[in-house]
Amino acid sequence: MSSNAQPRFHLAIPVIDLEAARQFYAGVLGCPTGRESDRWIDFDFFGHQLVTHLVAPEDHPSAATNAVDGHAVPASHFGIIMDWDHYQATAKTLTDQQVEFVIEPYIRFAGEAGEQATLFIRDPSGNHLEFKAFRNIEMLFAKDL
């Protein structure tokens, strides 16, 4: 890896319907597909490798939640941190496409140093995704908000 290349994550998640996963990740979110078989599909998830693996419905895990800001935040979730404008455009696209929000777009720590926007959605298999943006990305790992 060259010294200026950003590391990318690889995440594999279970899905119960590959075609529904394709329609959601490629169709709704606009993630290009990569390699695939009759049991899995690779997606370019905002520059990262997301692999959806076909599992039987009874083998798909359920999601526990934690209370955060009065919301039941899925304990098991993944997502992407975007710049503010990209987040706003994504939230509008999801709204326009009538994607059901688990947690509707809202602003945390409004007017504070750690101000951030967040939303949660679910894919067709019940996997939870979070999209978020920081008003000041330098606050991403700040301990004191």
Q: What is the CATH number of the domain that holds 6?
A: 3.10.180.10
Domains contained in the chain, number: 2
**Boundaries of domain holding 16:** 1-58
Instruction: Please indicate, yes or no, whether residues 71 and 136 belong to a single structural domain of this protein.
Output: yes
Q: What is the pLDDT of residues 15-52, one digit of tens each?
A: 999 999 999 999 999 999 999 999 999 999 999 999 99
Structure tokens at 125: 């298999």
The verdict on pTM exceeding 0.85 is: yes
Instruction: Please indicate, yes or no, whether residues 23 and 85 belong to a single structural domain of this protein.
Output: no
Q: What is the pLDDT of residues 93-102, one digit of tens each?
A: 999 999 999 9
Positive or negative CA dihedral for 3, 33, 21, 104? positive
How many CB atoms neighbour CB 28 within 10 A?
15
Give residue 75's region: left, alpha or beta (phi > 0; psi -120 to 50).
alpha
Instruction: Please indicate, yes or no, whether residues 79 and 119 belong to a single structural domain of this protein.
Output: yes
- Cα separation, 18 vs 40, whole angstroms: 7
Instruction: Please indicate, yes or no, whether residues 80 and 137 belong to a single structural domain of this protein.
Output: yes
- Cα separation, 106 vs 46, whole angstroms: 22
Instruction: Please indicate, yes or no, whether residues 137 and 123 belong to a single structural domain of this protein.
Output: yes
